[in-house]
Amino acid sequence: MRNGLFFLLAVAVAIAVFFGARMLNNDYVFFAGYTVLQFILLATAWNILGGYTGYVNFGSAAFFALGAYATVFFYKLYPLPIPALIVIAGIVSGIVGLGTGYLTLRLRGAFFAIATLALAVVLQTFVVNWDYVGGSRGAYIIRPTENVLTGPYIQYLFLLMLALVVLGLVCARGIERSQLGYGFATIRDDELAAEACGVPTLRLKLVATTLSGALMGMAGAPFPYYIGYLQPSSAFGLEYAVNSIAMPMIGGTTSWVGPLIGAVLLGSLQQLATVTISSAVNLLIVGLLLVGFVIVAPNGIIGLVQEHLRGKRR
Amino acid sequence: MPLLEVTGLSKRFGGFVALDGIDLAINQGERVGLIGPNGSGKSTLVNCICGTLVNEAGTVRFDGEHMDGLLTHERTHRGMARSFQLPRPFVTLTVADNLRVPLLYTVNARRRHSLKPADLDARCGELLALVGLTGKAAKLPRDLTQVEMRKLELARAMAAEPKLLLADEAMAGLSQSEVDDIVSLLIRLNEGGVTIVLIEHIMRAVMRFSQRLVVLVSGKKIADGGPDSVIRDPEVERAYIGQ
């Protein structure tokens, strides 16, 4: 399927999801749906670097928080519409992603992962000590109750996140089926052999860190409007780092579908657990599922399906 | 002017001298065998020529251009290709996609992105036919046998349309008939205009393949000449053959 056609199909599905949710006539659906969509975008963004190139990023929360705090900063400086804030957050996070990539170009495996973890710690320390964006006290964002386009404001945020998910999925799928995608796959499989085949691995890694960082930042940009009160511990929350890794791992990291499946499955399960049991059970669910999948399906659900299909063809 | 000219190349790993002032010239169209006992510096030499390792002293000139400071992929773009001692396929890509990578990143870049998807498919098909892997295009590397893996490694190096191919132990672990198969393939590639340096331990294959033989021992070049004369060289016999 061509990228243009896929884009149209994704938009059609997004419209169907939005109006389907509206038909339920329950604001909770939008609150819960927003979180699931946010995780789809985060997981898709993480997978561009972690899945396609094999560079595991433990600093997803830092990029997410960067997007959220970019919104707070510009909200205080000069109030802009959220779509503009999303673009700005994407640029800021993309630049930080590029910088991270540049500083960690020679690092691989666990060393790269530790460096990204360090980035999250450094950024959180910076934000905690930056009074303008609220520091450790946090910052309030007054969310309007209505929006001319959708009515209730949460529906507007849901729609924005839906649009971002379409953008993220189209971007990830486009990469996967392009020359860039081949390049990323060779970095994941064998960087030395990739260089010997003429792949400019260092340049491609910078592209991956920038794209991934930008999309994660965009996922965080509407968050202050969603939560209303942003503090470092919520923006840099462990669940963002853990979920953005666990969701693609459970779904499968070699395809754009993997993070989507993983995020829908895990995100919905977490929302269900939050209402029925307790929000504290979330990370336990993630942990148990991750252990289960590592044992039963190390290549995720997509890997399991691919293996099954390959077995049938033989 | 030689296609590849290595002058005074030296490489150390801590206190261990892996290469000690190597001089080597390879002419266009030659078939050169590079031999030496384990640890003599053959693979280190290949790695320094390809840019995988950085040499501390000496220079590498390829096709009249200084290679010093160029990254591995930049050297590949200029016409240098290599195969690895242990096959290093892209395990998540199919056999055809393994070949598509150098075609996309080296050949297509060299031709200013003029190759169309149909051209890429056709070229993949030709390469697979050349190495006898037609029918395996959609397979994953893990489904290939050892000799097929070696062929894929060579086909992938050839996909970059190199002027010089450095084949590092392309026959390790193969049976006698498989070795003959690979040697015939390398000779065919050379007849197609590719200069080849074969790094190998299997002397029967080296003698059949090489027009010239270079011997390394403890990071030093101790012989360079026709295979028959080099193999009778007393120093080579003493150091390599073990008499």
pLDDT for position B241: 58
Give the helix/strand (H/E) hosting B83: strand B80-83
pLDDT at B27 over 90: yes
ipTM above 0.95, yes or no: no
pLDDT surpassing 70 at residue B82: yes
Residue B127 CA to residue B108 CA, distance in Å, equals: 16
Q: Is residue A298 part of a domain?
A: no
For A295, counting Cβ atoms within 10 Å of its Cβ (0-12 exposed, 13-18 middle, 19+ buried), the class is: exposed
Mean pLDDT value across chain A: 91
Q: Determine what percent of chain B is predicted with pLDDT higher than 70.
A: 98
Domain boundaries, chain B: 1-79+162-243, 90-160
User: What percent of chain A is modeled with pLDDT above 90?
Assistant: 66
Which strand (E) or helix (H) includes residue A197? none
Considering only the beta carbons, identify the residue of A189, A193, A194 that sits closest to B92: A189
Find, among B152, B132, B131, the residue nearest to B141 by Cα: B152
The DSSP letter of residue A53 is S
For A186, the closest of B76, B101, B157 (CB atoms) is B101
Cβ-based contacts under 8 A for chains A and B: 82
Round the average pLDDT of chain B to a whole number and report it: 91
Does residue A178 belong to any structural domain of this protein? yes
For residue B214, which of B234, B193, B194, B200 has the smallest C-alpha distance? B200
- Measured between beta carbons, which residues in chain A are less than 8 angstroms from residue B101? 182-183, 186, 194, 197-199
Q: Nearest CA of chain A to the CA of B235: how many Å?
A: 35
B94 contacts chain A (CB < 8 A): no
Instruction: Give the distance, in angstroms, between the CA of residue A270 and the centroid of all CA atoms in the same chain.
Output: 16
Number of domains in chain A: 1
Mean pLDDT across the stretch B141-164? Answer: 92
Q: Any chain B CB within 8 A of the CB of A278? A: no
User: Which is it for the CA torsion A149, A151, A152, A158, positive or negative?
Assistant: negative
Residue A275: inside a domain: no
* B159: its two tokens: 């996909």
Nearest to A91 by CA among A214, A223, A205: A214
Residue B65, φ and ψ in degrees, nearest 5: -120, 140
Helical (H) or strand (E) element with A8 = helix A3-24
CB burial of residue B66 (10 Å; 0-12, 13-18, 19+): exposed
Render pLDDT for A99-151 as a digit per residue (tens, 0 to 9): 999 988 788 888 999 999 999 999 999 999 999 998 889 889 888 888 878 88
- Cα separation, A39 vs B204, in Å, equals 60
pLDDT for B240 beyond 80: no
Query: What chain A residue is nearest to B82 in terms of C-alpha separation?
Result: A196
| Tally of residues, chain A | 314
Q: Count CA atoms closer than 13 A to A74's CA, side-chain side.
A: 20
Task: Give me the mean pLDDT over the B198-221 stretch.
Answer: 91
Q: Residue A280: CB partners within 8 Å, gap ≥ 6? A: none
Task: Please indicate, yes or no, if residue A168 is contained in any of the structural domains.
Answer: yes
Average pLDDT of the segment spanning B1-20: 92
Task: Work out the minimum CA distance from A108 to partner chain B, whole angstroms.
Answer: 16
What pLDDT does A150 receive?
81
The pLDDT > 70 percentage for chain A reads 99
Kindly state the tokens that stand for B210: 């090489």
A194:B101 CB<8 A: yes
Question: Residue A134 belongs to a domain with what CATH number?
Answer: 1.10.3470
Can you tell me which residue has the tokens 């998540």? Answer: B92
Number of H helices, E strands in chain B: 10, 10
Q: Would you call B81 and A254 a contact, using CB atoms and an 8 Å cutoff? A: no
| Residue ranges, chain A, pLDDT below 50 | none
In this structure, what token pair is assigned to residue A227?
């939560």
Q: What is the pLDDT of residue A105?
A: 77
CA A186 vs. chain centroid, Å, equals: 23
- Establish if B116 touches chain A: CB-CB under 8 angstroms: no
CB B7 within 8 A of CB B211: no
Examine residue A265 and state whether it is found in any structural domain, yes or no. no
**Interface residue A298 vs chain B (CB under 8 A):** no
Query: DSSP assignment of B207-225, as one string?
Result: HHH-SEEEEEETTEEEEEE
Instruction: Order the strands of the B65-66 sheet from edge to edge.
Output: B16-26, B4-13, B57-62, B65-66
Q: Check A198 against B52: CB less than 8 A apart.
A: no
Rg (CA), chain B: 18
Domain B1-79+162-243 classified CATH 3.40.50.720? Answer: no
B172 at A interface, C-beta within 8 A = no
Residue A122 neighbours by CB under 8 Å, 6+ apart: none
Interface membership of A91 toward B (CB under 8 Å)? no
Give dist(CA A126, CA A118) in Å, integer.
Answer: 12
pLDDT of residue A285: 82
Question: Can you tell me the distance from the alpha carbon of A193 to that of A184, in angstroms, rounded to the nearest whole number?
Answer: 12
Q: Does B90 touch chain A (CB under 8 A)?
A: yes
B91 band by pLDDT with thresholds 50, 70 and 90: very high
**Is A190 in CB contact (< 8 Å) with chain B?**
yes
